[in-house]
Amino acid sequence: MSSEEKGFQNNSINWFPGHMARTRRLIKESLKLVDAVIELRDARIPVSSTNPELNELIENKPKIILLNKADLADEIATKEWLAYYKSEGVAAISADSKSGKGLNILRKTVNEVLADKIKSNVEKGMAGKALRLMVVGIPNTGKSSFINRMTRSAKAKVEDRAGVTRHNKWYVIDTSLELLDTPGVLWPKFEDPEVGFRLAFTGGIKDDILDIQELAAELLNILQKDYPDRLKERYKITGFEELSAYETLELIGKKRGMLISGGEVDTLRASQMLFDELRGGKLGKITFERP
């Protein structure tokens, strides 16, 4: 399926704009400058928030997976993911880059992954030589927040939307660690439309190119099945188990007083509120994918 055919509800989405192609080239060209790669993924969607081309791009470079935004993810699910990666022989940690929680073990993980490199440096008389790591990830996985936390500054631009960083940039953390930031890179096409939905749920795809009411119905289908107690607690609603997702959306809107002329529920406003509260963590810690 071509990029022109991609989209939700007939809204065309250009998944692979020109700067994404340039980013792939930048990553490829910069690999020779680094010792390892840190890939940021959204802890709520560890599968959907990874670029399936990344392993091919980084070739044989050691890699650490950082499940970011763990403060918004189901803690049990995150532990399952970390256990899964460990069973696959993949180094992985979970963290919340905005608060810094979880990042205290990053150095230890880097030293473990690059133990051979550190030993080689010592043997060559270069003990203490700075380790260089490339930071990669698709848009909206929190790379700028991670860089800011690591540098303890606001040198990296941070915005709560996709595609902010545009150019590679080095950050010297201290004498032993340097980070190379890269723009977020998507991939040419999605084989699974569910990937697109999950990215949209978490803000990785801009709402203004989607039918947000249809997207809200998709979200409620999942919440009704996997997290019904969250809906009951947040919106004080009951008896929605037998309702369709759209009827539940109307119920939520009515409960919040989102009515328009004739007593009809403003489902557009209710949808926007639902996503604001999901992304703001007001619905609790939710994960959309399990290993």
The tens place of each residue's pLDDT in the chain, 291 residues long, gives 333 333 444 443 444 555 567 777 778 888 889 999 999 999 999 999 998 888 888 888 999 999 999 999 999 999 999 999 999 999 999 999 999 999 999 999 999 999 999 999 999 999 989 999 999 988 889 998 999 999 886 565 544 445 444 556 888 888 899 999 877 666 655 667 788 889 999 988 877 777 999 999 999 999 999 999 999 999 999 999 899 999 999 999 999 999 998 889 999 999 999 999 999 999 999 999 999
Nearest CA to 94 among 142, 25, 158?
142
pLDDT in tens, 21-46: 777 777 888 888 999 999 999 999 99
CA distance 14 to 216: 22
pLDDT in tens, 241-275: 899 999 999 999 999 999 998 889 999 999 999 99
- Residue 53, class by beta-carbon neighbours within 10 Å (0-12 exposed, 13-18 middle, 19+ buried)? middle
Q: Give the total residue count for the chain.
A: 291
Is-above-0.95 flag for pTM?
Answer: no
Name every residue whose Cβ is closer than 8 Å to that of residue 89 and which is 6 or more positions away in sequence: none
142 CB-side CA count, 13 A: 24
Structure tokens, 193: 């439309």
Q: Quick check: helix, strand or coil at residue 64?
A: strand
Residue 9 has a pLDDT of: 42
Name every residue whose Cβ is closer than 8 Å to that of residue 224 and which is 6 or more positions away in sequence: 231, 240, 241, 245, 248
- Residue 27, class by beta-carbon neighbours within 10 Å (0-12 exposed, 13-18 middle, 19+ buried)? buried
